[in-house]
Amino acid sequence: MPEVVVITGATAGVGRATARLFARRGARIGLIARGRDGLDGAAVEVEAAGGQALAIPADVADADAVEAAAAAVERKFGPIDIWVNAAMTTIFAPLHEITAEEFRRATEVTYLGFVHGTMAALKRMRPRNKGVIVQVGSALSYRAIPLQSAYCGAKFAIRGFTDSLRSELIHDGVKVHLTMVQMPGLNTPQFEWCRNKLPRRPQPVPPIFEPELAARAIWFAAHSRRREVWVGGSTVQAILGMMLAPGLLDRLLARKAYGGQMSRELADPAAPDNLFAPVAGDHGAHGPYGGRARSRSLELWVSRHRGAIMACAAGLLAFLVSGAAARPARPRLS
């Protein structure tokens, strides 16, 4: 039977690329987002790729709307197998330039949207004692950076929420699998349509990767029993660096992360943003940095093949040990 998948934030970026990948596997997909234009475009792509689509306009900050969307998916396609939380919005600005209303809204979408999605999924998966929930995270859920306090705070909160819930499910013997995929900087439209108060247009922290890589990591996470999947060397460096030298990273980011997050292009103060309402049009999966973006990650490849790598390493070690044991001892000189 084809999988039934729900993807929040399905109209653009990671969500859009993930919808296309699941569609190529024949999935029946509930697409949840606010913008009708993007939903229509995503639904057309899903159908063209071999999947089935149900486009549902909903704001993930509204728990009732998310619950209603989950019910609509199951009425049309049947029990949900996989739920992918990917919706987000943010503000690029230092904290002293962000209003309380702006910060609250970014948190409601980027953090509470994941909570609402997880609640709707678990309401259906717990009684069946099966299912997978994928939380699209970030290296910034371990190592926060300046100018993105709202986004980093939300990603930290998602990780804490997910870890807490995972322990609850283990305690109750519930076999719903929770996994989190920690992403690097990605070439998505968020850098064109999220609220920006910086003097220049924002960009992902290099190195930049294409959203299709993120989609492959999400697919892998949804079909393996991994607790977390780390994508990109920059993600590994950020997480391990935070564990080993957080104070050094504070000072390094204070010097380099401001310029590193801004392109050379001046910002357009009149540009529309999606903080409180969707931006009109179908924006697709990609942002403007395709010329600099990578489509492969050695770290993801190693994660996907770690069983075979460990087996080969163990075999090589055994061969070396056996060879050393079989080697005749050198005679001692008297």
Q: Where are the alpha helices (DSSP H) in 173-245?
A: 190-193, 211-222, 233-244
Domain 4-320 has CATH 3.40.50.300: no
For 2-22, how does the pLDDT look when each residue is reduced to its tens digit (9 = 90+)?
Answer: 999 999 999 999 999 999 999
50 φ, ψ to 5°?
110, 0
Is 213 exposed, middle or buried (CB count within 10 Å of its CB: 0-12, 13-18, 19+)? buried
| Mean pLDDT, all residues of the chain | 92
Alpha carbons 2 and 64: distance in angstroms, whole number: 27
Task: Say whether 8 sits in a helix, a strand or coil.
Answer: strand
Q: What is the pLDDT of residues 114-164, one digit of tens each?
A: 999 999 999 999 999 999 999 999 999 999 999 999 999 999 999 999 999
User: What's the predicted TM-score (pTM) here?
Assistant: 0.89
Helix (H, G, I), strand (E, B) or coil at 4: strand
Of residues 45, 93, 43, the one with CA closest to residue 273: 93
DSSP characters over 83-148: EEE-----EES-GGGS-HHHHHHHHIIIIIHHHHHHHHHHHHHHHHT--EEEEE--GGGTS--TT-
pLDDT mean over 207-216? 96
pLDDT tens string 287-333: 988 877 676 666 565 656 566 655 565 555 555 566 556 666 666 65
The per-type count for the chain, helices as H runs and strands as E runs, is 12, 14
**218-247 mean pLDDT:** 95
Cis peptide before 199 (omega within 30 of 0): no
| Dihedral, 300, 238, 143, 267 alpha carbons, nearest 10 | -90
Query: CA nearest 110: which of 157, 65, 144, 69?
Result: 157
Which residues have a catalytic role annotated? Answer: 151
Q: Which of 326, 325, 181, 200 is nearest to 258 (CA)?
A: 200
Closest CA to 7 of 96, 49, 70, 63: 70
